[in-house]
Structure 1
Amino acid sequence: MYLYGASVQGIQGFIFETNKLKEIVGASDLIEQFCSLGFLGRFSKEFRLEIKEVDVLRNAGGNIRIAFTNKEDLEKMVKSFPQYVMSKAYGITLSQALVEFGEHDYLKKKDELEYKLTKVRNQASIPLDGRFSLMKQTPRTGKPSFEKKVYKEKGKDDKVEFFDKGNWQKDYNTEEGRVSILLEKLKLADIYKKFPLEMNDIAKDNANNKIAIIHADGNRMGLMLQEMNRALKDASTEKIQKVFKDFSSQITKSTNDAVKEAFEKNFRKYDKENKFIPFRPIVIGGDDVTVICRADDALGFTQDYLEAFENNTKKNFKEHGLSGYAEKLTACAGIAFCNKKFPFHYAVDLAEALCSFAKETSKREASCLVFHNIQSSYFTDYKSYVKNELITREGISLQFAPYFTEGNRKPTVKSLIEAHKNFSDPDVPLGKYREWLFELNKSHEYGELFLERVDALMRSKLSKTKYKDLNKGLYEMDEGLRLNSLIANNKTPMADILQLKSVLGGKK
């Protein structure tokens, strides 16, 4: 018996090669197609081999694992599948590997397959869209031009846009009438026309033309897999394959259902108002999620997704006999707020870095998120930014994150949203708190003296009720916070609150 594995390389670079939402959505759908049973069925029919659904052990997130008993079918798969996939999406590379296993060494061979795939990924490959100097280049990508579109405007010269083969495939994949596979997966195909293909339709209702890129990832998946390996070391190959396949399918189901639940709570309202829905799922595979959405809805969506994912894994693991390996999974998320014209590959890198930062600071023990508002034209390394910009000279952190879901730790996402709402009152002098951060960076003593004057101003300007509500909101974030004492555990939430204010608009 044989175990075959294939993994798509360069998914992020392929999807976010350009800033055109239509091509991003098209690229995302192409990746999603390669892992579908329908795509495998079309391939097997064209190349005359048999792939049984029961033998497909994993097909999500650009990864495929299939068990073969027929060596001839396996040889056809190895010979033809990479070229078949790469010809459907110029710009990606498919790595593949295989191992032979017996009745009692499946777990060992499964790990060997993953090791082989890791080695293959590091090998150089020849792209199908390589170019020679005589070829006309596509201005946006520098790759060989394959096709062009001519846009006619009355009274103006025709506008010509050139496409390379990969971007042409992405563009064609979103032609009118073609329903996104991800929307079908989320059971939203009936309203697919309300999901935008232009970034302006996502950003237009935000006061500062901001959008959000959200990346979420499950915690401690590796530990659960290790526990499964330990518990199944003496089990039959059939039992091992069934458990791992159930695990993969229940993670996928938990993720899909969580995205759908969060969508219903935060974006269904736009459908009811007969508006464009400012939301686009880009990657939903395994426990990984990447979406682009309206900045104003990002915190609410992410909080609801994290809570739903945690609840769904607990429920599904119990129903399918997996709770013995782990009761449930938590997840962390990063939210990168940026202008609609900011290079998306940088924003996605930042969202992933924020997600990793949330995992590190929470020790992967609870569901939480970290966010950042990109305000410069160039931003790449988040850890360097934290070190250089978010730590005062005396070591006080201007970052209060991570923010946790309800029932975990403080501060919660809910308390952050409430604090932002309270500080958005037009009577609150936000400019003074920006000045306070500047003074705090000089020294803690300067900051304390300045905050005393700001607090006196707040008491004179605000009613007792408003002043009390502001203090209550800060207390919900941390018991040590008050308007006259904005530092707790050597960090302050004011920079985060001001960041949200600049994202969501309103009084500066």
Structure 2
Amino acid sequence: MESSSQSSIHYAYCFEAKSVQSYLFAGSKLRHLVSASELLERLTDSILDTVTSAFSDSLKICEPAHYKGANNTAVFARRSAGAFYLVSPNRDSLTRLRLQVNLLVEDYLPGLSWVDDVSSQPEPTPYQAVKACLQTLNQQANINYPNLPVAPPIISLCERTSEPALAESNNSDNLDASLFIKEYLQKNNRESFFNRLADVNTDDSLHTKLKWPLDLENDFPSWDKNYIAIIHIDGNGLGQLLMSLQEAVKQNEQEYLSLYPEFSAKLKQATEASVKQAINTLYKDSHFYGARPIVVGGDDITFMVRAPEALYFTDAFINAFEVNTELLIAELRNNLPTSVASALPVCLSACAGIAFCNISAPFSRVYERAEELCDLAKKYVKSQALNSDIGEVASSIAFEQLNETPVNEYQAGEMGKYQCAQGGYLSLEVYHTGRLNRGQLPSLQGLIGLGSVVKQNKLRGKLKDYFDKRKNTPKIAEDFADKLAYKHPNIIADINCALDELYQGKTTTDKTHLFTIQKQGNLHSPLADLIELINMGAI
């Protein structure tokens, strides 16, 4: 047995999964996606617990507060979905642990790419050990290793991934190593991660009937539209917050193990709590979930949601996330030097990309578009220097219906399909949500209110006619709008009230020429956004 004497040297073993999206969406079936998410969550949970328990004599895992650098001890500096950093004075044991982890990942998560390493030189503090190891990982990030098994010249291939087939499914589909594991997990109905997010109703008789859907055609509750939404939400301000933590650690490196692991754990709790609150808001009185978690970790999540609930789920999550992270940051501020604490944001906001699609659309391509739309929302709010008075970036949402236009025909943010013949655009692109000052952003709640007016007055057909005229012959569209205002003044009054909320009363043109606002030197209207959402049953 190793000596338990104290040590002033530290090594780090760092592991990070990469190309996670490729692993998650391989196979393009919902059940494979579900199993991949569950396996990725287990990687740094039960699978990691299994392998570290085999080294309990030489690597006894301690809580950060109890780690004193004894030779037979170790501590996690980070442990989150897809990544972990383990610090110990015992480099030999860390090296042997790395070999064991590599074997387990190959067995349990074939198809997943990762980088990992053990720092080669002793460092005086855990912070320096992790920093040195991460520098090596950055050098490995662009190295592509071959996937095993390698296909010989004559072999059956998995039709969905083009990888060597190892078995057949019940439907006689060829399965590669990754899909075989995912099928096995799904058959055994093991969903500990997702069930942890299922805290919806305390009524046991109701709770037992609730389940996450596993099949788009059968498990997702039916409605009159066959649209779903892939939602990708990413937090704003985490980079600034981590820089503040790093500054605090530079002032006192002994604080590293007390700050980083605790912050990582509490951020995870805040994100999962926000998911639960959003789910509870939508489904507290339901006997089903119209949603499916894909990734929940750190400050970002990816969900699959029925189209009718997509906007409402996103809005509920972002509002809860702002509240929960405000509490987290207030607590963190009390543990940091004043010079560092003053630079912390009030809360973390978030931007979302929502890609609406038909249930038959390929998940991987739809997810890519959801990420692009999220990036579009982030870039837009940052470029507008919103909330400059308090130094915060507002939460925002960008969305798009994909099945009408082939994916990748144009990039997110290029407004060609919304452009009018004589200038201007029929989309507002990005909408505000959350509690922070929205600056000049149009309001998501205003758009939903406008949709309610259109639906209540059965104006969808007239709105579509107006949209077609507006896009191609603006003069005819103006005449059409004038006639509508003359025949239905009460409806136009309701529309104008909704527009006041949508635009914060800042319209710059005649509102009877429907829904137009000046934005970045061009005339913009939410017509295309409104029609798409109504057609999909999303509002």
Pair 1:413 & 2:444 matched: yes
Please give the TM-score of this superposition, normalised by the length of structure 1.
0.88
Structural mapping, 1:296-445, within 5 Å: 296-320=308-332, 321=334, 324=341, 325-363=344-382, 365-376=393-404, 378-380=406-408, 383=411, 386-392=414-420, 395-407=423-435, 408-409=437-438, 410-428=441-459, 430-442=460-472
Say which SS state the counterpart of residue 96 (structure 2) adopts. helix
Inter-partner Cα distance in structure 1 for 2:305 and 2:62: 35
Q: Which amino acid aligns with 2:50?
A: R
Structural mapping, 1:156-175, within 5 Å: 160-175=172-187
C-alpha contact 2:469 2:476 (8 A) present in aligned 1: no
Pair 1:455 & 2:474 matched: no
In structure 2, what is the equivalent of residue 60 of structure 1?
80
In structure 2, what is the equivalent of residue 230 of structure 1?
247
C-alpha contact 2:11 2:89 (8 A) present in aligned 1: yes
Q: Which amino acid aligns with 1:296?
A: P
Equivalent of residue 179 in structure 1, options 164, 187, 191: 191
Pair 1:477 & 2:502 matched: yes
Please give the TM-score of this superposition, normalised by the length of structure 2.
0.83
C-alpha contact 2:35 2:182 (8 A) present in aligned 1: yes
Check 1:423–1:202 CA distance in 2 against 1; reply closer, same or farther (3 A cut): farther
Equivalent of residue 493 in structure 2, options 452, 468, 485: 468
- RMSD of the TM alignment (CA)? 2.6
In structure 2, what is the equivalent of residue 16 of structure 1?
25
Pair 1:212 & 2:237 matched: no
In structure 1, what is the equivalent of residue 204 of structure 2?
none
Structural mapping, 1:19-98, within 5 Å: 19-36=28-45, 38-46=46-54, 50-54=59-63, 55-98=75-118
Check 1:169–1:440 CA distance in 2 against 1; reply closer, same or farther (3 A cut): same
Check 1:191–1:235 CA distance in 2 against 1; reply closer, same or farther (3 A cut): farther
Inter-partner Cα distance in structure 2 for 1:192 and 1:51: 41
Say which SS state the counterpart of residue 145 (structure 1) adopts. coil
Of 177-186 and 14-23, deviating more is 177-186
C-alpha contact 1:333 1:369 (8 A) present in aligned 2: yes
C-alpha contact 2:88 2:94 (8 A) present in aligned 1: yes
C-alpha contact 1:317 1:327 (8 A) present in aligned 2: yes
Q: Which amino acid aligns with 1:45?
A: S
Q: Which amino acid aligns with 1:70?
A: N
Shift, 1:160, TM fit: 2.5
C-alpha contact 2:381 2:393 (8 A) present in aligned 1: yes
C-alpha contact 2:230 2:303 (8 A) present in aligned 1: yes
Check 1:209–1:202 CA distance in 2 against 1; reply closer, same or farther (3 A cut): farther
Q: Which amino acid aligns with 2:248?
A: A
Shift, 1:197, TM fit: 0.8
C-alpha contact 2:231 2:302 (8 A) present in aligned 1: yes
Inter-partner Cα distance in structure 1 for 2:405 and 2:218: 22
Inter-partner Cα distance in structure 2 for 1:167 and 1:377: 30
C-alpha contact 2:213 2:220 (8 A) present in aligned 1: no
Check 1:432–1:192 CA distance in 2 against 1; reply closer, same or farther (3 A cut): closer
Shift, 1:424, TM fit: 1.5
Inter-partner Cα distance in structure 2 for 1:170 and 1:204: 24
Inter-partner Cα distance in structure 1 for 2:122 and 2:197: 33
Check 1:498–1:211 CA distance in 2 against 1; reply closer, same or farther (3 A cut): same
Inter-partner Cα distance in structure 2 for 1:79 and 1:309: 38
In structure 1, what is the equivalent of residue 266 of structure 2?
250
Show structure 2 runs of 5+ residues with no match: 1-9, 64-74, 202-206, 383-391
Inter-partner Cα distance in structure 1 for 2:368 and 2:394: 22
C-alpha contact 2:26 2:160 (8 A) present in aligned 1: no
Inter-partner Cα distance in structure 2 for 1:185 and 1:53: 27
Inter-partner Cα distance in structure 1 for 2:498 and 2:284: 29
In structure 2, what is the equivalent of residue 147 of structure 1?
167
- Number of residue equivalences: 485
Equivalent of residue 198 in structure 1, options 208, 212, 215: 215
Inter-partner Cα distance in structure 2 for 1:386 and 1:7: 34
Shift, 1:82, TM fit: 2.0
C-alpha contact 2:309 2:538 (8 A) present in aligned 1: no
Equivalent of residue 530 in structure 2, options 497, 500, 504: 497
Inter-partner Cα distance in structure 1 for 2:409 and 2:210: 37
In structure 1, what is the equivalent of residue 515 of structure 2?
486
Inter-partner Cα distance in structure 2 for 1:192 and 1:34: 29
In structure 2, what is the equivalent of residue 156 of structure 1?
none
Pair 1:122 & 2:115 matched: no
Shift, 1:7, TM fit: 0.9
Sequence identity (%) = 24
